[in-house]
Structure 1
Amino acid sequence: MKTLPLIADKLKCAMGMDMATVGSSLIERVVRERMAALEIDDDGRYLARLHGSAAELQALIELAVVPETWFFRDREAILAAARLAYERLALQPEVPVRILSLPCSSGEEPYSLAMALLDAGVLPGQFVIDAYDIRTRSLEIAAAGLYGRNSFRGHDLDFRDRHFTPLAQGWQLHQAIRQQVRFAPGNLLAPDFLRYAAPYDFIFCRNVLIYFEREVQRQVVALLESLMKPDALIFVGPAEGGILLSPRLQSAGIALAFGFRKRVALERPARRELVGVAALPPVTLPGAARQAGSVQPAASAASSRLPFTPGEAAVSGAASPSLLEQARLLADQGQLAQAAALCEQAIGEQGASAEAFYLQGLIHDADGDAELAQRCYRKVLYLEPQHQAALLHLAALLQATGDAAGAERMRQRAGRVSPAEENHRD
């Protein structure tokens, strides 16, 4: 297709999609699908149609964007935002927490945030979530709030029992959750996008920057920075941490959440004066520990606790962090080489373990080394064939390299992991 580079340039200008990243085969496939729908057999004629029709450009974008999301994906970031929102409201209950989700796809991410906040004891009037996406079909799905099996992955689906009604067509999200999210179409690259918006406390912009070339990444990061309150946090995908690190932004130090904040001295009370996780009301967020007759934190200690800081062990009586815990914190701060070295040291001193190989996989994933990341996830699965998180990460990597069949096999294996098997490892 001789006009493919020109069509790819059109998509790149409209939505930042770089053909070098997503591959020419994807773009050619969606172009041929649109040409067939329009009964156009000449790609030059289609290019002319594309240049002259905003509606056709949007139709092509609708096909080119392939949503891949589910409820409570990247659980650590979602639970961290819920916990920190609760803490902020404990200090300033009169100031509603503002959260931005973009791109929001078909709504699973912003709805997960709404469920997490409400389950953590935040009142409906104490937060708002704005959600934007360039794909109008995704927004229609989000507005309907009706989801199929593919939107529910993982071993802990208690939230589905609390917040959804089962129907013949799937699961209908309760109106109490749906009304907490405001959906709207939006293009990150549009010159006027959110130009006059009030700043946010938490911004979720996960797994989209990796599809942009460097200059577009800088443009989007500058936009996100302009939308941050002084103490706001941005959460990005595991492979995007290096894009955020700059003289203006630094890691928030929340293990495996890939959160970043501005490099400013924040006015905060001492840690011991904050309302901590242990002070939250009893909740049952996905992955939360549960014991009869006891008050449990909103998330497991491994996934959402505040980062270890010097002197904390002396204050709390806790043991020093293990090598793998130190590696997690270094990885979240963008110090990937040091984190990888600590993983190797842990394996050398303590022997091979699924936990260590899984963390290595995340580190290589964040460093953009897909081949090494795949090797690590496969080592995890050799030791623990039912390691659901490794299965899902491996599926994402296989999908990105064009192995759709292999990705689907991994997703099917992950879907067959029972709650008992996953909880046994936790």
Structure 2
Amino acid sequence: MNVLSTLRRLTGMNLARGTVEQAVQRRMRATGETVRKAYADALDEAELRELVELVVVPESWLFRDPQAFAAAVGFVRQRLADGAKLVRILSVPCAGGEEPYSMAMALCDSGVSPQSFVIDAIDISAACIARAEAGVFGRNAFRGQDLSFRDRYFTWAGDDELYRINDALRARIRFGQGSILEGALGTARQYDVIFCRNLLIYFDEPTTAAAIARLSEHLTGEGMMLAGYAEVPSFVRHGFSPMPHRQAFALRKDIMRSGAPARPALAQGQSAAAGAAAPKRQAANHARLTGAPPAAAGIGSRPPHASRHPASAATPPLVAAGDESLLAHARKLADAGQPLEADSACRELLAQQPESAEAYFILGLLAETAGKPADAEAQLKRCLYLKPDHYEALCHLALLQEQGGNSSAAATLKARAARAFQRQQPQ
């Protein structure tokens, strides 16, 4: 059995070979198997589940990115004011329950009756679901300045700073194991609000499109989608439009484009005003280059731009289909899973065009997927020095900072990314 391709198929994630190999070696030690091929040939459903648990990285905390919960609360309150009797909410993936519990607490704090909403929460990891159902959280789940919600909704579990969420709140959430790509997606046919944050960044472009199509089917016509900030361009390419909530990264289905091709975005090097009707490559580069966004927040990590000095910056030309320029060649090599060759092509380009921001961006992605965060950070910063509003570089660098524990720098970069994305939308 090919373990890498099997795990990619099961999870939908474009897992790095090194990530899978580490998981395999760990399980071989646990099972006592010493021969790699023998382990792979003997893989059964139970052992595959163990591998899935090792390659899924559920890093979250309560009230992570609080602007999203504030936007969702306002939306739910309006829905109820308009006559809805019950608002249905979906959280996928739910990790250890941090996101759905945060939403439930935010609704109750705003005066919404627990009987007026129900939350479905699903995750591919059985261990995550078990932890979420237990509703017990340690110190790492409680971050930020205001922890008053802990006094309102948790009781001390009596051991090592553990706290248990109250039963009434837990009763409003239905947890279940499942995948965004197949099987039942929650218990309702459609939801008023869907949280799907920082999942698509692990997917390649076809899987991203399939996941968004499923989410769209399960979202009501006027519903709200909450995405991760690095994922907004993917949703925009596939029939969604951003909603005007600052740093919430909320979207709605674009009814005007229903059944029509996705609206083209800005071309590299163009401003929002000049590029409103031009084809946009930059939002697509992220998913195309990495296959599953970089290594910053996920597999080891993750992840349009107007130049601050458009007249003087050396902006590489747009690469037309079939163009064999070094930049196009580097992208093709990265897409084909040839990182060393892609790296070489980028460096050859930089020898000729030392101000090619896109070449530095590609080098940053390659470093991320290779598990070299310091190198990735250096390359992304070079990209942003040349193009301060490079949306995807801002997203990747923010996730690297967040993973490295620098929440203040990550927040600043997120805000810059949100402003850059808004500026680049057609007016």
The bucket for the TM-score relative to the shorter chain is 0.5 to 0.7
- The equivalent of 2:134 in structure 1 is 144
Displacement of 1:70 in angstroms is 0.1
- Between 240-249 and 28-37, the greater mean CA deviation after superposition: 240-249
Give 1:336-355 correspondences, 5 Å limit. Answer: 336-337=304-305
Letter aligned with residue 188 of structure 1: I
Instruction: Indicate conservation of the 8 Å contact 2:120/2:186, yes or no.
Output: no
1:13 equivalent to 2:9? Answer yes
Secondary structure (helix, strand or coil) at the match of 2:175 reads strand
Using the alignment, how far apart are the partners of 2:174 and 2:220 within structure 1? 20
- The equivalent of 1:273 in structure 2 is none
Aligned match for 1:202, one of 184, 193, 196: 193
Number of residue pairs the alignment of both structures matches: 291
Ranges in structure 2 where 5+ consecutive residues have no aligned partner: 257-282, 284-303, 310-360, 369-375, 386-395, 411-427
* Closer, same or farther: CA 373–27 of 1 in aligned 2, 3 Å: same
Computed over aligned residues only, the root mean square deviation of the Cα atoms, in angstroms, reads: 3.2
Give 1:196-275 correspondences, 5 Å limit. Answer: 197-246=188-237, 248-264=239-255
- The equivalent of 1:41 in structure 2 is 34
* Closer, same or farther: CA 118–341 of 1 in aligned 2, 3 Å: farther
CA deviation profile, 1:311-353 (whole Å, cap 9, x unmatched): xxxxxxxxxxxxxxxxxxxxxxx8x425x869xxxxxxxxxxx
- The equivalent of 1:28 in structure 2 is 21
Displacement of 1:396 in angstroms is 4.0
Instruction: Indicate conservation of the 8 Å contact 2:401/2:409, yes or no.
Output: no
Displacement of 1:371 in angstroms is 3.8
Percent of residue pairs identical: 38
Instruction: Indicate conservation of the 8 Å contact 2:398/2:409, yes or no.
Output: no
Using the alignment, how far apart are the partners of 2:251 and 2:127 within structure 1? 30
Give 1:42-57 correspondences, 5 Å limit. Answer: 42-50=35-43, 53-57=44-48
Give 1:18-417 correspondences, 5 Å limit. Answer: 18-19=14-15, 23-50=16-43, 53-94=44-85, 96-169=86-159, 170-190=162-182, 192-194=183-185, 197-246=188-237, 248-264=239-255, 336-337=304-305, 371=377, 375=381, 396-397=399-400, 407=404, 410=406
* Closer, same or farther: CA 262–177 of 1 in aligned 2, 3 Å: same
Using the alignment, how far apart are the partners of 2:235 and 2:90 within structure 1? 17
Displacement of 1:399 in angstroms is 7.5
Instruction: Indicate conservation of the 8 Å contact 2:197/2:226, yes or no.
Output: yes
Secondary structure (helix, strand or coil) at the match of 1:143 reads helix
Using the alignment, how far apart are the partners of 1:233 and 1:82 within structure 2? 11
Secondary structure (helix, strand or coil) at the match of 1:141 reads helix
Using the alignment, how far apart are the partners of 1:16 and 1:24 within structure 2? 14
Ranges in structure 1 where 5+ consecutive residues have no aligned partner: 266-333, 343-363, 380-392, 401-406, 415-426
Using the alignment, how far apart are the partners of 1:106 and 1:18 within structure 2? 22
* Closer, same or farther: CA 255–213 of 1 in aligned 2, 3 Å: same
Aligned structure 1 segments of 4 or more residues deviating by more than 3 angstroms: 367-376, 393-396, 410-414
Using the alignment, how far apart are the partners of 2:409 and 2:205 within structure 1? 35
Using the alignment, how far apart are the partners of 1:135 and 1:171 within structure 2? 22
Letter aligned with residue 109 of structure 1: E
* Closer, same or farther: CA 134–155 of 1 in aligned 2, 3 Å: same
* Closer, same or farther: CA 63–163 of 1 in aligned 2, 3 Å: same
Secondary structure (helix, strand or coil) at the match of 2:42 reads helix
